[in-house]
A = this chain, B = another copy of it.
Amino acid sequence: MTLPSSPDPATAVSGHPLRVGVVGVGVMGADHVRRLATRIANATLVAIADPDAERAQELADEPGAGVRVIADPMELIADDGVDAVLLASPGAVHTEQLLACIERGTPVLCEKPLTMDSESSMRVIEAERAGGRALVQVGFMRRFDPEYARLKQLLDSGDLGRTLMLHQVHRNLTVPNPHFASEMIVRDSLVHEVDCARWLLGEEIASVQVISPTPTRHALEGVVDPQVSIFRMASGAVVTNEVFVNSRTGYEVRCEAVAESGSAIIGRPASGIYTTRTVPGGGAGSWGGGIDPDYRTRFERAYDLEVQAWVDATRRGELVGPTSWDGHASTVVCTAGMESLATGAPVDVALRAPAIRA
């Protein structure tokens, strides 16, 4: 599958800071508003839009933000003062908003999921290609994490020979959502492992098998948590995944790549500060450290680098990072994964090329 080509340099806006509008001010959107207002060079946050106008206004009033609030997202997208859009609205409205951006030729950084199903994500790809320019970067932020980036660089260097296997682990502290369901582990958590496997190995996933261990007692009744899954890649490489969203220990993301002449691990919690401590009540102490509880702290630097890279590339009239094809492919793999979750058997991933090539 050929990846979409770079967009026309006409998209470039390098003469002035990139004027960014943010659509959606939920958890991630609010995070991005503060990021753009205080940590990103060569960008100016100019507008935010959310149906919840009060929340939008509160955020606009924060020091450093000082931006216009626009009630209707479609109006923000249509605004002449907006050079580029950061889309952090709910996935269910992404298709319409993405198509509007593409229609206007506006570059967009879209939080995952690209859209809710493969049909709609294919429509986005086809609209982009019809317009002749790749405009959509998908928010798989791990690709910008310094450790993941070094791992990618090491594997691509060929120093370790061909990569044969990945072992991926993804643990969350807990899931407070009372409506949480097993499929959400595949769609919202495993999706990151899907993107990492495709990106690190540089190839598509051919089949996926999701295995259901007896759940932890901390899972909601009926929810399969943890899950073990296996990806078989197009080349025959194999990826094992553990996703465990009620680990009760913290947010742990780890990846081990095993190649012909060595292996590499990232995401060991042993990084950073390291303490010894008295154990309350006496007796001998312990050594070690804390575990990040939250993906926003674990991947804070990755988010910053992701948004900066998007701003920089957009000003140069280019697109870097994961594309709409990556968003689509991950959706198709997760759909197969949800099917496998029901049976435990491997399910083939059926990726179709888009109808129109750029």
Contacts and interface: CB of A to CB of B under 8 A. Distances in A.
A292 B287 contact: no
Contacts of A283: 293
B262 A285 contact: yes
A119 to B, nearest CB: 31
Which residue among A43, A64, A165, A232 has the maximum number of chain B CB atoms within 10 Å of its CB?
A165
A215 B288 CA distance: 25
A271 B269 contact: no
Interface string A240-267: 1010100111111000001011111110
Interface residues of A, number: 80
A40 interface: yes
Contacts of A122: none
A158 interface: no
A244 B259 CA distance: 10
A255 to B, nearest CB: 10
A89 B266 CA distance: 39
A208 B9 CA distance: 55
Interface string A161-179: 1101101010001000000
Contact of A273 (B147, B235, B277, B312): B147
Contacts of A169: 167
Interface in A192-219: 211, 213-218
B286 A216 contact: no
B278 A248 contact: yes
B260 A287 contact: no
Nearest to A266: B273
A265 B272 CA distance: 9
A237 B289 CA distance: 25
Given A276-B249, A308-B39, A228 B270 contact: no
A15 to B, nearest CB: 10
Contacts of A150: 272-273
How many identical subunits does the complex contain?
Answer: 4
A236 interface: yes
B216 A260 contact: yes
Contacts of A2: none
A347 B310 CA distance: 49
Nearest to A270: B270
A209 B293 CA distance: 34
Which residue among A244, A268, A287 has the maximum number of chain B CB atoms within 10 Å of its CB?
A287
A238 interface: yes
A105 interface: no
Contacts of A167: 167, 169, 240, 242
A230 interface: yes
A286 B278 contact: no
A39 B268 CA distance: 28
Nearest to A265: B274
A211 B151 CA distance: 25
A42 interface: yes
A82 interface: no
Contact of A274 (B40, B236, B266, B312): B266
Contacts of A275: 154, 160, 262-265
Interface string A32-72: 00000111111100000000000000000000100000000
A240 B214 contact: no
A211 B286 CA distance: 28
A27 interface: no
A277 B160 contact: yes
